């Protein structure tokens, strides 16, 4: 087990309905030393790529992406979620469905912060059905920028998002891929990588 899998086993809580709570260290309270370690690990995994910008989506991606951007020495941009906005032509927009909240959101990034030819590393905390990640990829493509890869902290391997995005040819690196979890026993099964 790597450092993240160990932390998930130690502090993650498996709830009914395939819900994994990691709010004590990742997405409500943040362990900053862990964030730094995650930043370094993504730098190691994507160190062969030219990265000029790190892109994530609010809110819980921000803390993680900031430390990845620090390692690469590049700016970080976070996409904003908006129910309905007046698009003024200055924004890249993608429509994203949320399975958790059963609604649709627009995800927006100002055109000033994604330029043609830019090399983008996309970072997010979770990958499940892949809707948010597809939205971010579509925004990068709209900008005629290059998706250098997608760095995910926790992938739910039993949902289809990761497979779809890898099949589309994108490089996805997940620090932990969960193949199964059991809310009765609390046992989490990680994929061997």
Interacting residues with a copy of itself (CB under 8 A):
23-24, 28-32, 35-36, 58-59, 62-63, 66-67, 69-70, 73-78, 80, 109-110, 112-113
Task: Select from 77, 73, 42 the least CA-distant residue to 149.
Answer: 42
**C-beta of 1: minimal distance to a copy of itself in Å?**
23
Tokens describing residue 143: 């900008």
Query: In the complex with a copy of itself, which residue's Cβ is closer, 46 or 190?
Result: 46
**C-beta of 32: minimal distance to a copy of itself in Å?**
5
Phi-psi group of 90: left, alpha or beta (phi > 0 → left; psi -120 to 50 → alpha; rest → beta): alpha
**C-beta of 167: minimal distance to a copy of itself in Å?**
31
Count how many residues are written for the chain: 193
**C-beta of 192: minimal distance to a copy of itself in Å?**
31
Query: In the complex with a copy of itself, which residue's Cβ is closer, 80 or 191?
Result: 80
Query: In the complex with a copy of itself, which residue's Cβ is closer, 103 or 193?
Result: 103
Task: Select from 35, 69, 39 the least CA-distant residue to 52.
Answer: 69
Query: In the complex with a copy of itself, which residue's Cβ is closer, 37 or 159?
Result: 37
**C-beta of 77: minimal distance to a copy of itself in Å?**
5
Give the integer Cα–Cα distance in Å for 99 and 131.
9
Query: In the complex with a copy of itself, which residue's Cβ is closer, 111 or 163?
Result: 111
Task: Select from 81, 109, 104 the least CA-distant residue to 93.
Answer: 109
Angle in degrees, 0-180, between the axes of helices 32-45 and 3-11, rounded to the nearest 10 = 150
């Amino acid at each position: 087990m790597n450092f993240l899998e160990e932390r998930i086993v130690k502090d993650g809580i498996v709830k009914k309905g395939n819900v994994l709570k990691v709010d004590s260290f990742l997405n409500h309270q943040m362990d900053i030393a862990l964030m730094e370690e995650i930043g370094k690990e993504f730098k190691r995994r994507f160190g062969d790529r030219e990265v000029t910008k790190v892109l994530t989506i609010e809110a819980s991606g921000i803390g993680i992406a900031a430390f990845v951007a620090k390692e690469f020495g590049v700016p970080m941009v976070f996409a904003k979620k908006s129910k309905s906005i007046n698009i003024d032509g200055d924004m890249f927009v993608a429509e994203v469905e949320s399975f958790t909240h059963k609604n649709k959101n627009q995800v927006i990034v100002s055109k000033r912060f994604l330029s043609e030819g830019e090399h983008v590393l996309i970072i997010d905390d979770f990958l499940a059905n892949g809707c948010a990640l597809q939205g971010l990829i579509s925004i990068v493509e709209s900008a005629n920028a290059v998706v250098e890869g997608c760095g995910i902290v926790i992938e739910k391997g039993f949902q289809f998002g990761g497979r779809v995005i890898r099949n589309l040819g994108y490089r996805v690196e997940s620090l932990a891929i969960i193949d199964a979890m059991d809310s009765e026993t609390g046992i989490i099964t990680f994929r061997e990588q």
